[in-house]
Amino acid sequence: MDFKGDNVVISNIKLERLLSMKGGKGENSYANNSQAQAIHARSMLHLLEETLDRVQLMTSPEVPFVVVDLGCSSGNNTIYIVDVIIKHITKRFEALGIEPPEFSAFFSDLPSNDFNTLFQLLPPLAAHGSGSMEECLAADHHRSYFAAGVPGSFYRRLFPARSVNVFHSAFSLHWLSQVPEAVMDKRSPAYNKGRVFIHGASEITANAYKKRFQADLASFLRSRSPEMKRTGSMFLVCLGRTSVDPADQGGAGLLFGTHFQDAWDDLVQEGLISSEKRDSFNIPVYAPSLQDFKEVVEADGSFAIDKLEVFKGGSPLVVSEPDDAAEVGRALATSCRSVAGVLVDAHIGDRLSEKLFLQVERRATSHAKELLEQLQFFHIVASLSFA
């Protein structure tokens, strides 16, 4: 299927091979528009380190210690987190008087991810025997782990049995494996007519999204269960919500359900696309509640919940001049585009996509004060180990 034309409807089968954050190092790339994620990740480091303290350390230096980042995308954030994990584990080994083992880090995402940009950002591998990992990173910005990319959906198996010590995944599990079929079916009562996202949708539509999320999370856990070492731990972060209503998607709703939605309606009003074309596009994202998440972990039964909480992550908008409405508008449009631009481009083509995001920027600029006050992300943070 050709994804470059102006009249392409993205099938669920093809979503896995298309979905990615905006690649490269350009103005709209994820690499240059993930500062908010970096800030949110740093604010949760104490929770990550608590998870790492639960990992049982072995005394077999010939066995590599394996760290996996699932949904790594293509920016510096994943490299920073892997460094944090390996530094912390190294300190734990040294505190026990044990020579740290060699480390392997696997960066995993869908095949459409821009692995080339990610690999270009990796620091060079430290020479063997050149000192401890901390010395290498501090002194000459080398890394002390072997790196590899693993393309594939984390809703399926990706690694050999009992091979991974630490799984980390941040800001990824809210992405569904597909838009729920009922949401795209005109004959279904769950058909999301007039909308491009779950936010504000009917109860039956919202429940279709919830069902898809829970089925996907169950697949994720079933896949990780045989892959993780019995002594390992898993740290997961995804968009979450505080409302019990699944149609109230909180920060994600404001990002994709207001000005982004209105911009699609603008294209319809101007006759640039049909209403059917708009309705055949839906953002495959679901921000779960704690209960949504907990139900799946408990039903799976493989993992014990060491920690599960909603964490206030802050705004996804990083601006230098909060009083500059135009900057706020650009920030929102760029944020939307860096995470959803690839899907929009595929659905309506580059020319209309450009116009859509200009409309998002225009609308967001006129509501800048309200956005800064109200746009707040919450995250589900889960620390899991074997039951």
DSSP state string for 229-296: EEEEEEEEEEEE-S-S-TT--HHHHHHHTTHHHHHHHHHHHTTSS-HHHHHT----B----HHHHHHH
- Judge contact between 110 and 16, C-beta under 8 A: yes
Q: Is residue 155 part of a domain?
A: yes
Q: Is residue 343 part of a domain?
A: yes
* pLDDT exceeds cutoff 50 at 3: no
Q: Is residue 7 part of a domain?
A: no
Quick one: three-class SS letters along 115-137?
HHHHHHHCCCECCCCCCCHHHHH
Residues written for the chain: 387
Q: Is residue 50 part of a domain?
A: yes
Give the total number of structural domains in the chain. Answer: 1
Q: What tens digit of pLDDT does each residue of 229-251 get?
A: 999 999 999 999 999 999 998 88
Q: Is residue 323 part of a domain?
A: yes
Instruction: Specify the CATH number for the domain of residue 363.
Output: 3.40.50.150
Q: What is the pTM of this model?
A: 0.86
DSSP 73: T
Pairing of strands 228-240, 377-386: antiparallel
Chain mean position to CA 132: 31
Chain mean position to CA 71: 6
Rounded Cα distance between 200 and 253, Å, is: 8
Q: Which domain range does residue 56 map to? A: 12-386
Q: Is residue 6 part of a domain?
A: no
Q: Is residue 5 part of a domain?
A: no
Q: What tens digit of pLDDT does each residue of 13-47 get?
A: 465 555 544 444 555 444 454 455 566 667 788 89
Q: What tens digit of pLDDT does each residue of 170-182 get?
A: 989 999 999 999 9
What is the reported pLDDT for 312?
Answer: 86
